[in-house]
Amino acid sequence: MISFKGNLVSPTSVIQDYNFIAITANHPTSFVEIDPGDKFDKKALNVVKYIFGSRGQDAALISDIFEYEGQSTNNRNSRYFVLTEQEDDFERIKPSAVLGVTKVTNMDKDNVFVDMIQVNPFYVFNNPYSHLKRCGSSILQSLKDTFSDKTLWLHSPKNLINYFQRKGFEIADLPANKGDALMKFKQKIPSGVIK
């Protein structure tokens, strides 16, 4: 019997860009919850760490984000997700198919903090050879859908504040001595609904 946490949270898509003929199309992907304490998921994430952390200006940061609580499984409030090109067989995540990783922590019953979102650096920096676009946007939308009854919080580096504002986040606090901002995305409650 195989024990695993790789559960499909939601099917989603990114943009597939055919540079040579200027056509784009939706490319099916999956937003999958994983368990870093599970031996198969842990092994997959270690390979993802190698793939993501070997290039890009944030290589050291990318490596650090994989030093997660799952190694000691002491933080039950954290949850981990991957955006993957896989559409099935989630008990064995294929590291080469992982487009992005995110970690969230439940702050309380109404608030979730997005600790980290990292897209494969090959798809982040306007790479002319990259055929997939909007991986980060797909992760954000999946988080909004997954936690539709909660307020999402995150710290944004100064250079990404405008990006997150375009995605519906607003600045909650802008510390005077730091270059980042605390931002929140408050889910819209339909009129007539009492929370």
pLDDT for the residue numbered 3: 35
pTM value surpassing 0.85 = no
- HEC string of 117-176 equals EEECHHHHCCCCCCCEECHHHHHHHHHHHHCCCCEEEEEECHHHHHHHHHCCCEEEECCC
Nearest to 185 by CA among 156, 136, 150, 142: 150
| pLDDT at residue 113, rounded to an integer | 92
Report the alpha-carbon distance of residue 178 to residue 148 in Å, rounded.
30
Q: Which two tokens stand for residue 33?
A: 């919850």
Predicted local confidence at residue 78, as pLDDT: 84
- Classified as helix, coil or strand, 110 is coil
**Residue 136: per-residue pLDDT:** 86
Cβ-proximal residues to 104 (8 Å cutoff; 6+ apart), any chain: 78, 79, 81, 112, 113, 114, 115, 143, 147
First and final C-alpha spacing in the chain: 42
Q: Are the beta carbons of 102 and 80 closer than 8 angstroms? A: yes
Cα torsion angle, 91, 50, 57, 97, sign: negative
Q: For residues 8 and 133, what is the distance between their CA atoms, to the nearest angstrom? A: 21
pLDDT given for residue 135 in this prediction: 84
pLDDT tens digits in sequence order for the chain, 195 residues long: 333 345 666 667 555 554 544 445 577 888 999 887 788 888 888 888 888 876 655 555 565 555 554 444 456 678 889 999 888 888 888 999 999 888 898 988 899 999 888 888 877 755 666 777 788 889 999 999 999 999 999 988 888 888 889 999 998 887 766 778 888 997 765 555 554
pLDDT of residue 22: 47
Query: What is the pLDDT at residue 10?
Result: 62
pLDDT on residue 145: 92
Closest CA to 10 of 90, 70, 77: 90
Q: What is the pLDDT of residue 160?
A: 85
